Amino acid sequence: MPEPLIVEVRRNGILEAVHRVHAVAVRDGAVVQEAGDAGFTCFMRSSSKPLQALPLVRARDDLTEEDIAIACASHRATEEQLDAARALLKKANASEDDFELGLQEGRPPHKIYNNCSGKHAGMLALCDVNNWPKRGYHESQHPVQQACAEAHAEAAQTDQAELATGNDGCGVVTFAMPLERMALAFANLPTLPHAQRITQAMRAKPHLVGGADGADVLLMQHPDPSRQLVAKGGAEGLLCAVDLVTNTGYALKAEDGDQRALRPAAAAFMHLDLPLLQIENTRGEIVGDVSLRTRPA
């Protein structure tokens, strides 16, 4: 097994923490690059959102790029992101009372501020167009969650019955699979029926998908025209992406679940220049950085 990527956190040059990152790239159904354990199995969490949006875009032709991007988002509750979530919720003929998610710590006590509210608005919009009951849409046997499971199985080229499941932070079903299978799912995403609407919307509106400092947003905003990336991060240090130029899928996982390891790891593994991740104190002073280890262990 190849060695994982090692990301170091240094303050004034002194080592404070070390993160191990497993990574894999898949093209044409085969692994073309790996670091660490390509078979590392974990839950996709929010990296699933582009796949969870597949049933929605297939069912509705009235969605704007903003609708689709916010349905794929882990948003930071900016005004533009909240406006997009509210617009999709209105299109679903639903209200915040229909959201089957909870309040999020550190945010105002309204469900729309939950970083998954766009995804949930999309699920309600799927219910609305199909005349499915909105109540219980988060439950595993509801047609919404069954449709999402089918989309994951389709993208990952696996049997739906073989997908291990759990309960995500926002209450819906989350799916577990090896990193290699996640990379395959993202490699396949651009080729799936109607999925081009998702990849186009995420690339057109990356600021709706996440925060400006997120590895996924930085990848989608990368200026190199030869690298057209669609990316989505997930909780516990996961990042999945696809290069639309080469149809190469990527999956990276910080073993300790720390998101800060993903930007330098992705830059190294995907051969891209990304801004250095610096550590600031409460005075706004730069006191350290997070970077790939360049010295021997």
pLDDT mean for each 10 residues of the chain (297 residues): 95 96 98 98 98 98 98 98 98 98 96 98 98 98 98 97 96 98 98 98 98 97 95 98 98 98 97 94 97 69
Q: Is residue 280 situated within a structural domain?
A: yes
Of 237, 273, 229, nearest in space to 253 by CA = 237
pLDDT at site 294: 64
Q: Is residue 297 situated within a structural domain?
A: no
Of 110, 114, 48, 38, nearest in space to 76 by CA = 114
CATH number of the domain encompassing residue 265: 3.40.710
Q: Is residue 49 situated within a structural domain?
A: yes
Residue 192 lies in domain = 5-292
- Residues 6+ away with beta carbon under 8 Å from 110: 96, 103
Q: Is residue 124 situated within a structural domain?
A: yes
Strands lying side by side in the sheet with 41-43: 41-43, 173-178, 164-167
pLDDT at site 1: 85
**Structural domains of the chain, count:** 1
Q: Is residue 252 situated within a structural domain?
A: yes
Which run of H or of E encompasses 11?
Answer: strand 5-11
Of 93, 87, 80, nearest in space to 130 by CA = 93
pLDDT at site 297: 43
